[in-house]
Amino acid sequence: MTELADRFLPYGRHRVDEDDIEAVARVLRGDFLTTGPAVEAFEGRLAEITGADFAVSCSSGTAALHLATMAMGLGPGDKAVVPTITFLATANAVRYVGADVVFCDVDADSGLMRPRDLERAIAEHGAAIKAVLPVHLAGQSPDLAGIAEIARRHGVTVIEDASHALGAAYPGRGGEAAVGSCRDGEMAAFSFHPVKTVAMGEGGAVTTNDPALAARMGKLRSHGMVRDGAADPWIYEMPEIGFNYRASDIHCALGLSQLGKLDGFVERRRRLAARYDQLLAPLNPVVRPLAHMPGCRPAWHLYVALFDFNGAGIGRAELMGRLKKQGIGSQVHYIPVHSQPYYRDLYGKTELPGARAYYARCLSLPLFPAMADDDPERVVAAIESALKRT
Ligand SMILES: Cc1ncc(COP(=O)(O)O)c(C=O)c1O
| Residue of 87, 136, 137 best suited for mutating to test ligand 1, as the one with most atoms within 8 Å of CB | 87
| φ, ψ dihedrals at 88, nearest 5° | -45, -40
40: exposed, middle or buried (Cβ count in 10 Å: 0-12, 13-18, 19+): middle
Residue nearest to atom 5 of ligand 1 (CA): 61
Residue nearest to atom 7 of ligand 1 (CA): 61
Residue nearest to atom 8 of ligand 1 (CA): 61
Cis peptide before 285 (omega within 30 of 0): yes
- Bridge-based pairing state of the strands 129-132 and 79-83: parallel
Q: Would you state the pLDDT for residue 6?
A: 59
Cα gap 173→146, rounded to integer Å: 9
For 110, residues 6+ apart whose C-beta sits below 8 A from its C-beta are 137, 140, 290, 291, 292, 293, 358
Q: Would you state the pLDDT for residue 3?
A: 46
Give, in degrees to the nearest 5, the angle at Cα 142 between 298 and 62.
Answer: 85
Cα gap 1→3, rounded to integer Å: 6
> Left, alpha or beta for 323 (phi > 0: left; psi -120 to 50: alpha)?
alpha
Q: Would you state the pLDDT for residue 2?
A: 43
Cα gap 6→101, rounded to integer Å: 44
- CA dihedral (106, 317, 140, 134) in degrees, to 10, reads 40
Distance 202 CA to ligand 1 centre (A): 10
Which among 16, 56, 69 is positioned nearest to 221, based on CA atoms? 56
Strand order in the sheet with 129-132: 54-58, 204-208, 187-191, 157-161, 129-132, 79-83, 100-104
Q: Report CA torsion sign: 215, 57, 367, 82.
A: negative
Q: Which DSSP state fits 18?
A: H
pLDDT in tens, the chain (390 residues): 444 445 799 999 999 999 999 999 999 999 999 999 999 999 999 999 999 999 999 999 999 999 999 999 999 999 999 999 999 999 999 999 999 999 999 999 999 999 999 999 999 999 999 999 999 999 999 999 999 999 999 999 999 999 999 999 999 988 999 999 999 999 999 999 998 999 999 999 999 999 999 999 999 999 999 987 778 889 999 999 999 999 999 999 999 999 999 999 999 999 999 999 999 999 999 999 999 999 999 999 999 999 999 999 999 999 999 999 999 999 999 999 999 999 999 999 999 999 999 999 999 999 999 999 999 999 999 999 999 875
Q: Is 191 in the pocket of ligand 1 (CB under 6 A)?
A: yes
In order, the DSSP letters of 89-157 are HHHHHHHHTT-EEEEE---TTT----HHHHHHHHHHHGGGEEEE--B-GGG----HHHHHHHHHHTTPE
Q: Is 135 in the pocket of ligand 1 (CB under 6 A)?
A: yes
- Could you give the C-alpha distances from 126 to 130, 131, 134, in angstroms and in order? 9, 12, 18
Q: Is 188 in the pocket of ligand 1 (CB under 6 A)?
A: no
Per the annotation, the verdict on 388 as an active-site residue is: no
Q: Which helix (H) or strand (E) holds 305?
A: strand 303-307
Residue nearest to atom 14 of ligand 1 (CA): 87
